[in-house]
Structure 1
């Protein structure tokens, strides 16, 4: 990720990727599901369901209603939250790579200016640890 002479660095804040409709929906759902109002709605659902046994009469049907509702909500939320988490993980990894690459370049520059052999080893260890490749300047 070292820069070729004359090129400008790509910083994580410079990367703009247009989100798909599903990604935007997943982000909004994740934001809503993390609020207290969503939890209150879930508690309200249980409070409404619990006394409904007297209206339904059959314990099997009564249990099936709550089991089906919670299974569907859980299944959908897991898919949406996984999408959001995967994108967040990728963004963090991109930022960490940019930081490590910048640090490796700085260490390389300092070691060249001061001709310090141990620093060359440290640069290589940093690059190996984060998986950065040595790229030659053009």
Structure 2
């Protein structure tokens, strides 16, 4: 079931992210706007676009979140592999996302100090 969802969500995200989908969306909105006088700008006419956009937005939230989670996990795994493969790299960095906010703050400070030290060396 998860594999099916992954395949569907990936295909949908690719499709929705295309320029053609944007063009189709613009055409739909223009057609809706142009049809306003035909339907006398009725409540039903307004409800049509409101309902359609609400449903699409609702579904897209889940689709985008899934795609973002998957991309972040893939990026994290690639970085983990690079850390593992580089001689002298601190392998404790591999699962940084599991550290507490305080631990991350300490590491950020450590790297900030290292960066400042490198700036001084480069200016010399």
With structure 1 as the length reference, what TM-score do the two structures score?
A: 0.61
Q: Which runs of 4+ in 1 moved over 4 A?
A: none
Q: Which has the higher helix share?
A: 2
Aligned length: 95
CA deviation profile, 1:9-66 (whole Å, cap 9, x unmatched)? xxxxxxxxxx611110100011111111100000010111002222322443222211
Matched, 1:22 2:2: no
Paired residues for 1:55-74 under 5 Å: 55-74=38-57
Question: Which sections of structure 2, spanning at least 5 residues, go unmatched?
Answer: 97-124
Larger radius of gyration: 1
CA deviation profile, 1:76-108 (whole Å, cap 9, x unmatched)? 1221121122111111101111111222xx22x
Paired residues for 1:41-60 under 5 Å: 41-60=24-43
Structure of higher RCO (CA pairs closer than 8 Å, 6+ residues apart): 1
